[in-house]
Amino acid sequence: MYSFKNDYSEGAHPRILTALMESNFVQENGYGEDRYSEKAIELIKQRLDQANVDIHFLSGGTQTNLIAISAFLRPHEAAIAASTGHIFTHETGAIEATGHKVIAVETTDGKLTTKHLRDVLIFHTDEHMVKPKLVYLSNSTEIGSIYNKEELEQLSHFCKENNLILYMDGARLGSALCSAENDLQLSDLPNLVDAFYIGGTKNGALLGEALVISHHHLKEEFRFHLKQKGALLAKGRLLGIQFVELFGDNLFYELAMHANRMADRLRKEITKAGHTFLSHSPSNQIFPILPNSLISELQKKYSFLIWEKVDQDTSAIRLVTSWATKEEAVQEFIEDMKKTVE
């Protein structure tokens, strides 16, 4: 049984495991004040071409979203997200549990637009309702779509005009930046969004996300929030070491490019077989619509999510490729798909 269920089924890139082993007996300061974390921060700042940002390492995406969003908002303020957004659908109410409402907006492609934001602001008029304050984006989104530079510039301009915080979930940022349709650079983000994170968990790290805070008002005393919510790790070096490996050269991008290539191969052959897709997703997640009979046959050898029922005879499934997806497994899936159709 080969898994296309997610991009964190495997452990970590061998280089990261080697670096962790080689540094195992080196004594270091705790709580992210070690030499490895400091070096990783400098490497990421170089990639961002921006020295005036704060960078913090956290263990996972939900933890990062929860701590960042709750730290950035006052008690009566709320976050705006697409209805498919991770903070609305797959974080067990983590944001709401901190006392902040998530205002969900229906979208066709998982992406927010300035019209969506304007409609929310028009509806929320006074102190008898929560105050929309933070805009939550995912890039790539939960349904595989990506934001281009013009879209992000429009959102950024709107948020600045309306005093909104623009926050980007970057769990799959590597895949988005390495998409053939992408025109954004990592260095664009500090100028366009107030805070974002670079996902390591889903791109070759054992665990870990790098939160980048670019807006100066959001930086103050952030380590207090980390400590209070259990995210200031005594052995913070374990996160720093991994990001040194990912950003010491082009490993972060190479791993994301591999995941995208595997998804591209699947997408191309599924299209050639005459199947359509639930969404346009030029990243490492694809959502083909297949006959239920074909899905049942494929499930005998492969694990994947059945995303939604399309009609009585067909359903959309989610196939996710990773930094470690084997080319032979992709080819075998394609052959089994064709064989079943025949």
Same domain, residue pair 278 and 198: no
Does a structural domain hold residue 196?
Answer: yes
Same domain, residue pair 232 and 273: no
Does a structural domain hold residue 1?
Answer: no
End-to-end CA distance of the chain: 22
The predicted pLDDT at position 286 comes to 98
Q: What beta strand segments (E) does the chain contain?
A: 2-3, 54-58, 77-82, 102-105, 131-138, 165-169, 195-199, 209-213, 276-277, 285-286, 288-291, 302-303, 305-309, 314-320
Would you state the structure tokens that stand for residue 87, as one six-digit string?
Answer: 């903070």
Same domain, residue pair 215 and 301: no
Same domain, residue pair 140 and 282: no
- Which of 214, 234, 250 finishes a domain? 250
Q: Quick one: which H or E segment has residue 225?
A: helix 222-228
Same domain, residue pair 30 and 116: yes
Does a structural domain hold residue 110?
Answer: yes
Enumerate the β-bridge partners of residue 302: 2
- Which of 250, 279, 295 finishes a domain? 250
Same domain, residue pair 219 and 273: no
Same domain, residue pair 173 and 237: yes
* CATH, residue 321: 3.90.1150.10
Does a structural domain hold residue 279?
Answer: yes
Single out the residue of 98, 104, 91 nearest to residue 74, CA to CA: 98
* CATH, residue 26: 3.40.640.10
- Which of 210, 231, 250 finishes a domain? 250
- d(CA 202, CA 321) in angstroms, rounded, equals 10
- d(CA 101, CA 78) in angstroms, rounded, equals 5
The predicted pLDDT at position 75 comes to 97
Same domain, residue pair 212 and 224: yes
Does a structural domain hold residue 173?
Answer: yes
- d(CA 337, CA 339) in angstroms, rounded, equals 6
Same domain, residue pair 218 and 308: no
Same domain, residue pair 246 and 257: no
> Mind listing the pLDDT tens digit of every residue in the chain (342 residues)?
999 999 999 999 999 999 999 999 999 999 999 999 999 999 999 999 999 999 999 999 999 999 999 999 999 999 999 999 999 999 999 999 999 999 999 999 999 999 999 999 999 999 999 999 999 999 999 999 999 999 999 999 999 999 999 999 999 999 999 999 999 999 999 999 999 999 999 999 999 999 999 999 999 999 999 999 999 999 999 999 999 999 999 999 999 999 999 999 999 999 999 999 999 999 999 999 999 999 999 999 999 999 999 999 999 999 999 999 999 999 999 999 998 655
Same domain, residue pair 187 and 298: no
Domain that holds residue 280: 252-341
Domain count, the chain: 2
Helices 251-272 and 327-341 cross at an angle (nearest 10°) of 10
Same domain, residue pair 35 and 77: yes
The predicted pLDDT at position 215 comes to 97
The predicted pLDDT at position 341 comes to 57
